Structure formats: C-alpha cells, structure tokens
Amino acid sequence: MDRVIPIITNNLDEYASGLLVTLQLVAISFVVAMVVGTLVASLRIAPATPLNWIGAFYVETFRNVPLLVLAIIFSAGLSRAGLSLGKMSAASAALGLYTAAYIAEAIRSGVSAVSKGQVEASLSLGFTYGQTMRQVILPQAFRTVIPPIGNLIIAMIKNSAIVAGSLIALDDILKIARVVNSRTFATNEAFFWAGVGYLLLTIPATIIVRRLEKRLAIKR
C-alpha cells in the first residue's frame, strides 16, 4: 500500500479523463432516460388500455433484463443487423433505455400519489383540466418524484461501469483502473483510486438526495 500516492500522481490525467467519460455517459443517458421515461409513464397512465399494455411491457422488459445483455444487444447485436451505433451512442442508448423503465415507474407512482379527490375538488372549483394539472397535480407529483429520480442518477453512475466495461469498451474510470493495474501491477492502489472517483460522485449525490427527501416530504 506504499504506492497509494505515486499511483494517483503519476496517472492523474488518465483518471481525470476516465471520470469525465463516466460523467459524459451518465449525462447523455440521463437525457435519454428522462425523455423515454416520461413517454412510457404517460403511456402507462393514459386512459386507453392498449397504451397501458405497451407501457407495462416496456417497463417489465427493461427492468428485468441485465444491463450487460442490453449493452451487447445495442453494440454487437445491432451492428450485425446492419445498424452500427457509435460507442457513446450505443452505451447511452443501453443505459438510458434501461433507466427509463425505472424513471417511468417513479413518475407514475408520483402522479398516482396525488389523491383523486384533489382533481375533483379543483375541477369543481372551476379550474380547467389544464389548470388542474399545472397548478394542483404536477407541482405535488414533482415533489414526490424528485428524490427517486435522484436515486436513479446515483444508480446510473454505478451502472455506467457495466455498459462501459462490456463489449462497447469505453475508456471510463474503471477501464483506466484496469489499464493502470496491468501496467503497474498495483491492483489495490489502481482500484482504490477508481473507487474514490466513483465515491466522489455518488456520496455527495446521496447526501443531496437525503436532504431533498426531507425537505420535499409532504405530510399526509
């Protein structure tokens, strides 16, 4: 363990660039997850049964399949079918579509947590449906949805290692640890610093989510 300091000082640039790739992957995947997740959530709460089925099918499929399998399908699988995505797009499609299933569930339970009586009450007060959604339902749903989405971002940071480490082979921070390990044989130190890199992202995020959870909690 006497090489802890030299390993990071000698390879700081590589670790920093790896962390940046991880962040980039999470950021792009998050956008994909939010867009697709919102769409799937609206399918699930739409007042038409076939649409609900499509939404439920999406959620149950993507939530129960290992991310590694999705990563293989979106890289080697699709390129065999003649649809070659770039490395970053394949990785963020896999991670984004996987997380979208969880986002959809979070949004759905947020909307259904607002009681039906509130819709009826605001309609009977003369609000239009649009006003009811905008001024009564969505602000409350938004509050319940924020902490779970925060937790999903933390899960995405951790899951980014899986897509990057699959056949897609992005140079994320975990890959850097493997490279440094094979160059220096300092396994403990190489992985220790990658771990520190992940904790630098996930621990502050956890603390923020816990704070938000307390502040946004609605007493019912």
Whole-number minimum distance, CB 38 to other proteins, in Å? 17
Nearest to 46 by CA among 34, 29, 58: 58
**Tokens in use for 111?**
């909307």
Q: Which residues are at the interface with other proteins (CB under 8 A)? A: 60-61, 63-70, 72-73, 76-78, 80-82, 102, 105-106, 148, 151-152, 154-155, 157-162, 165, 174, 177-178, 181, 187-188, 191, 194-195, 198-199, 202-203, 206
The answer to whether the beta carbons of residues 135 and 121 sit under 8 Å apart is no
Q: Which is nearer to other proteins, 70 or 132 (CB)?
A: 70
**For residues 220 and 193, what is the distance between their CA atoms, to the nearest angstrom?**
44
**Tokens in use for 41?**
């959530």
Whole-number minimum distance, CB 51 to other proteins, in Å? 21
Whole-number minimum distance, CB 31 to other proteins, in Å? 19
Q: Which is nearer to other proteins, 57 or 129 (CB)?
A: 57
Whole-number minimum distance, CB 214 to other proteins, in Å? 13
- Using CA atoms, how far residue 53 sits from 36, 96, 105, 143, in Å, is 16, 21, 14, 27
Fill in the amino acid letter for 173.
Answer: I
Q: Which is nearer to other proteins, 43 or 174 (CB)?
A: 174
